[in-house]
Amino acid sequence: MRLGVARYHDIAEALRGAISRGFYERGSQLPSERELSEEFDVAPGTIRQALGELETEGVLASRRGSRRTVVGEPRVAATFEEFRSFAQWASSRGRVPAGHVISARWQDASPLDLEELRLPTAARVFCVVRVRLLDGSAIMVERTRYRDSVGAEVERIPSDCPSVTAWLAATANITFSRAEHQFSACPAGAEDARLLDVRRGSPLLMHKRVSFSRDGLPLEWSVDRYVAGTIRLVVDNSLNANALRWE
């Protein structure tokens, strides 16, 4: 039992792990409360609290007229790498990611660059515009601005590289350890409409991201715009879990 953690939380975690490992398959039934209380050597009320926690998360569903609980479909949150990296997310779902670089050039940092990347005045940033493809279809325009130390490495990356994140980690030992995300809706402008083959004014999902190094230094900031209906952001929210994932 973990210090300072209620026993039923530990039991819920143990059952959650058994479900995620496939010990209990979707649609199967858990043992009765009496059987579980004997297995974990606790009172039935503690088991009910643990099952209630899992039901709140959507992992379990009650069946009327039965003391057993039906196992629902576990919801798995994306890892940090999958959530931050389009290519790693797509690959983890068995999809085929790709990308085309539209432009890549150095620019003087704008006032917004200076703020987001905490740069000194007169700094430069490396600016890349990419179209991201999923299974051959263009679904997102990505506009990323890198601080100079990272931009110098990004400039060396082949234009058809599927994952900039993986390349930087493997070749330059540059690792993104934290990211801040903002989401909103926006209409497609003329350039986005052309690159994504949608009508001007079509709704897009806008994702602004600032990524940081292990020591808290901002390495890049990006604004990604997705074609509506091609990807979803899902939040599982409960008293004990708040998980985000792409679908």
Label the pairing between strands 233-237 and 218-227: unpaired
The per-residue pLDDT for 189 is: 96
User: 105-133: per-residue pLDDT in tens?
Assistant: 999 999 999 999 999 988 999 999 999 99
State the Cα–Cα distance between residues 111 and 231, nearest whole angstrom: 31
Cα 141 to Cα 227: distance, rounded to the nearest angstrom: 9
Element spanning 169, H or E: helix 164-171
In three-state secondary structure terms, 191 is: helix
Whether the Cβ atoms of residue 185 and residue 167 lie closer than 8 Å to each other: no
Q: Which residues contact residue 95 at a Cβ distance below 8 angstroms, ignoring those fewer than 6 apart?
A: 134, 135
Q: Would the CA dihedral through 113, 119, 124, 127 be positive or negative?
A: negative
> What local confidence, expressed as pLDDT, does residue 2 receive?
41
Q: What is the pLDDT of residues 181-216, one digit of tens each?
A: 899 999 999 999 999 999 999 999 999 999 998 889
The pLDDT of residue 21: 75
Q: What's the confidence (pLDDT) of residue 65? A: 46
* Amino acid 72: pLDDT: 58
Give the per-residue pLDDT at 130.
94
Contact predicate 174/150, CB 8 Å: yes
Q: From CA 100, how far away is CA 3, in angstroms rounded?
A: 51
Q: Which residues of the chain have pLDDT under 50?
A: 1-5, 65
The position carrying tokens 């779902």 is 93
**Long-range contacts of residues 163-167, Cβ cutoff 8 Å, at least 24 apart:** 163/85, 163/87, 163/88, 163/97, 164/85, 164/87, 165/81, 165/84, 165/85, 165/87, 165/88, 166/85, 166/87, 166/88
Residue 1: what pLDDT?
46
